[in-house]
C-alpha cells in the first residue's frame, strides 16, 4: 500500500482539523463508489481493473506483438488523457530517453496530435523518415482538431509508403464502441479497433486500451499493471478511515486549500516522473478546476527545479504546498568513486551510493521548505515495477474523485475546455461557428 506521510503539514494544520473533516471525506468516498453524485455516468474506471486476461487484453497483446515485429516506431495520436497516460507510464518505467537506440522489435514510441506546432510536426517527420511505423489513433469522436489533423497526415504518409491496403494493417483505432467519426472510418476501412468504455472519461482512461496498447508495445507487462490496479481497487475502496492513504491525501489537500494554499506542487526526484506529473496535472486540473474553485496543480522535477523554482518555494508567497513522490532505490546501485587530487572536493562522498546522496537531498529539501512555511505531503511508493504503476494510476484516480466531491464539484466534466475551441473554430471559419 502507498504510504502518505502528513507529518510535515502539522505546522499549518492540527489533528482536530483533520478529524473534523472525517465525515466529509467518508461522504465523498461513499458518493463516488455508490454513484450518487454528479457525473455518475463516468464511473466506469472504478471497476476496470481485473486479474483476468480478457479477450480484449489478448487482442491488445497480439496487436502489440505485431507492431513490435513489423515497426521501428509506433506513433500514438491523441491529446489530453489520450496520450498523457501512456506516455506517463512508458517514461516512468523506461526513462525519458527510452527512445534512443531502439529499433524494430523494440520500437520507438512517438506522440502526435497533442500540438499544432509546425516545428513539432516537422521534427516527427524527420524522426519517421526511413522507418517502418504504425499508428495508434485515440479519440472518442475522431474530430478533435489536433489529433484529427495529425492523423489525416499520418494516414496519408502510411498510404504513400505502403499502399492503401497494407497501410490499413498498420492503423489501430481506439475509440467509442458505437459512434463517432473515427468509429465510422475504422469500420469502413477495416482497421483493427479497440474500445474506450463510454463510462471512462479521457483523463480516467489509462487502464483501458488507451494506455494498455502503447504500454504493451513498449514492452511493459500490462497483465501486471492491471493486477496492481486490481490490488488498489480492492484495498483502497474497502478501508474507510484515515488509515486509508486516499483519505489522508484527499482530506489534507482540501484542508490546506481552505487555509489559503492555492497551488499544489507535485514532484519527484526521478527524471522519468515528469510526464507522470503531467498526467496528474490534467487529472486534478480538469476534475477540480471549475465553479471558481480548485487547487492549481503544478508538476516539478527535483533536484533540477530546485535550481529554478527553489527560491520561489523557499521565500515566495506562502500560498503553496508540496506533494513529494518517493520510490525505493533500484536494485542496480551506483557508487561514487575517489579521486587522488580531489579538486572537486567530493572525496567525502567516496564509497557512498548515489541513492544515499539523493535521499539526503530529499530530506534536506523537506526540512528547508517546511522551515520556510511550506507544508509537505510525502508519498512513498515503494519499489517501482508494473504492479506499482497500476496501483499508482488507480490510487490517484480514486484520490481525485474523492477530493473533487469534498470540494463540491463534478469530477467528470470539463465545460471550460470548449471555450477556446469555439473561438478557434470561428476564427478558422468552421461551418456553424460563424457567430
Active site residues: 286, 307, 421
Query: Please, which residues bridge with residue 133 across strands?
Result: 73
DSSP H or E segment with residue 175: strand 171-175
Q: What are phi and psi of 99, to 5 degrees?
A: -75, -20
Q: Which uninterrupted H or E stretch holds 235?
A: helix 222-238
For residues 269, 75, 226, 6, the Cα torsion angle rounded to the nearest 10 degrees is: 20
Vertex 218, ends 177 and 305: CA angle to 5°?
105
Evaluate whether 3 touches 379 at the Cβ level (below 8 Å).
yes
Measured CA distances, 71 to 68, 77, 102, 134, 219 (Å): 6, 16, 11, 6, 14
Residue 213 and residue 194 in contact, taking contact as beta carbons nearer than 8 Å = yes
Q: How far apart are CA 124 and CA 146, in angstroms?
A: 15
Q: Are 56 and 195 in contact (CB under 8 A)?
A: yes
CB contact at 8 A, 103 and 132: no
Cis, peptide link before residue 119, omega less than 30° from 0: no
Amino acid at each position: 500500500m502507498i504510504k502518505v506521510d502528513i507529518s510535515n503539514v502539522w505546522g499549518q494544520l492540527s489533528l482536530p482539523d483533520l478529524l473534523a473533516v472525517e465525515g466529509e471525506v467518508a461522504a465523498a468516498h461513499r458518493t463516488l463508489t455508490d454513484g450518487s453524485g454528479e457525473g455518475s455516468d463516468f464511473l466506469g474506471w472504478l471497476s476496470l481493473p481485473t486479474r483476468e486476461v480478457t479477450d480484449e487484453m489478448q487482442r491488445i497483446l497480439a496487436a502489440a506483438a505485431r507492431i513490435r515485429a513489423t515497426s521501428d516506431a509506433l506513433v500514438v495520436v491523441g491529446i489530453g488523457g489520450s496520450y498523457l497516460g501512456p506516455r506517463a507510464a512508458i517514461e516512468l518505467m523506461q526513462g525519458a530517453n527510452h527512445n534512443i537506440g531502439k529499433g524494430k522489435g523494440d520500437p520507438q514510441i512517438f506522440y502526435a496530435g497533442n500540438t499544432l506546432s509546425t516545428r513539432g510536426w516537422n521534427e516527427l517527420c524527420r524522426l519517421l523518415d526511413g522507418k517502418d511505423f504504425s499508428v495508434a489513433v485515440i479519440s472518442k469522436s475522431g474530430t478533435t482538431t489536433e489529433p484529427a489533423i495529425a492523423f489525416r497526415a499520418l494516414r496519408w504518409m502510411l498510404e504513400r509508403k505502403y499502399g492503401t491496403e497494407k497501410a490499413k494493417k498498420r492503423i489501430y483505432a481506439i475509440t467509442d464502441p458505437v459512434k463517432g467519426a473515427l468509429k465510422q472510418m475504422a469500420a469502413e476501412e477495416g482497421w483493427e479497433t479497440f474500445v474506450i468504455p463510454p463510462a471512462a472519461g479521457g483523463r480516467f482512461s489509462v487502464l483501458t486500451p488507451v494506455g494498455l496498447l502503447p504500454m504493451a508495445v513498449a514492452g511493459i507487462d500490462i497483465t501486471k499493471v492491471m493486477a496492481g490496479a486490481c490490488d488498489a481497487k480492492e484495498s483502497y475502496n474497502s478501508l474507510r478511515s484515515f488509515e486509508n492513504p486516499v483519505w489522508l491525501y484527499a482530506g489534507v489537500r482540501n484542508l490546506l486549500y481552505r487555509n489559503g494554499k492555492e497551488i499544489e506542487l507535485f514532484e519527484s526526484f526521478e527524471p522519468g516522473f515528469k510526464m507522470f506529473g503531467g498526467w496528474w496535472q490534467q487529472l486534478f486540473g480538469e476534475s477540480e478546476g471549475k465553479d471558481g474553485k480548485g487547487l492549481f496543480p503544478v508538476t516539478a522535477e527535483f533536484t533540477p527545479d530546485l535550481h529554478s523554482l527553489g527560491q520561489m518555494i523557499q521565500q515566495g508567497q506562502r500560498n503553496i504546498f508540496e506533494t513529494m513522490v518517493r520510490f525505493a532505490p533500484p536494485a542496480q546501485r551506483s557508487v561514487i568513486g575517489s579521486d587522488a587530487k580531489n579538486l572537486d572536493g567530493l572525496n567525502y562522498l567516496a564509497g557512498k551510493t548515489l541513492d544515499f546522496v539523493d535521499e539526503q537531498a530529499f530530506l534536506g529539501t523537506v526540512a528547508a521548505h517546511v522551515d520556510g512555511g511550506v507544508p509537505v505531503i510525502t508519498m512513498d511508493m515503494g519499489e517501482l515495477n508494473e504492479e506499482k504503476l497500476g496501483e499508482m494510476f488507480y490510487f490517484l484516480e480514486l484520490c481525485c474523485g474523492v477530493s473533487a466531491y469534498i470540494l463540491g464539484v463534478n469530477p467528470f466534466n470539463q465545460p471550460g475546455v470548449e471555450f477556446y475551441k469555439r473561438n478557434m473554430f470561428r476564427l478558422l471559419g468552421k461551418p456553424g461557428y460563424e457567430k
